[in-house]
A = this chain, B = another copy of it.
Amino acid sequence: MKENKYDNEQFFVKYSQMDRSRKGLSGAGEWHELQKILPDFRNKTVLDLGCGYGWHCKYVSDHGARKVLGTDISHRMLQTAGEKNSAENIEYQCTAMEDLDFLPETFDVVISSLAFHYVRDFETLVKNIYRWMKADGVFVFSVEHPVFTAYGTQDWYYDAEGNILHFPVDNYYYEGARDAVFLGEHVIKYHRTLTTYLNTLLQTGFELQHIIEPQPPEDMMQIPGMKDEMRRPMILLVAARKR
């Protein structure tokens, strides 16, 4: 059963108040690094899996893509995407990414931002993506880092006074569902090891181009809590090419 947490009203309202929701790409701490590993989008047909508010679709459209398809499981997300990030060459489709089906070699580029940790079966998804892509196509995604997802709660470990001591890692090799707390709400996320993320790509036939654990940008360091982001990796960025 695929969870559709973003159609939960309370959760969606909280999500809409995040910087990355209000400000778009410039409000996302990893964007400055993700942007660097994106391919040339001119005249490309692009798929965005778990597109959310559509900020990436709009960026891709603005950078010369021929056609952009953004997909998401959440109606609410796509409603906002339609309002905030529409363009003539962008289409939004409300389907869980596990249920998508396309003809082989449909897309030049596939992107996905912070969505794959909601997917239970990564291998099947990667095989599908590979099939949907044209040869030499580029696949770029961000996902919550295995260090961040292993323990489950996704919170720091504190002393009795509430000071951060460190970030806890546990059950690393036990992959699967975690009851994570995100925006004060319980959400199911799937933990996978780094081995699974990267070797699944390699074994499917992708060539790895970039593997980045983005650090917070200098100009965000004054945001409360941002300096602590130097203490553990939260996000993993990967760019790969279909061979």
Contact = CB atoms under 8 A, between A and B. Distances in A.
A198 B170 contact: no
Contact of A172 (B202, B208, B209, B231): B231
B174 A170 contact: no
B173 A199 contact: no
A28 to B, nearest CB: 18
Contact of A230 (B173, B208, B233): B173
A193 interface: yes
A199 B151 CA distance: 26
A163 interface: no
Contacts of A231: 169-173
Given A198-B211, A208-B202, A233 B170 contact: no
A213 interface: yes
Given A194-B194, A199-B212, A230 B166 contact: no
B195 A213 contact: yes
A17 B195 CA distance: 31
Nearest to A237: B195
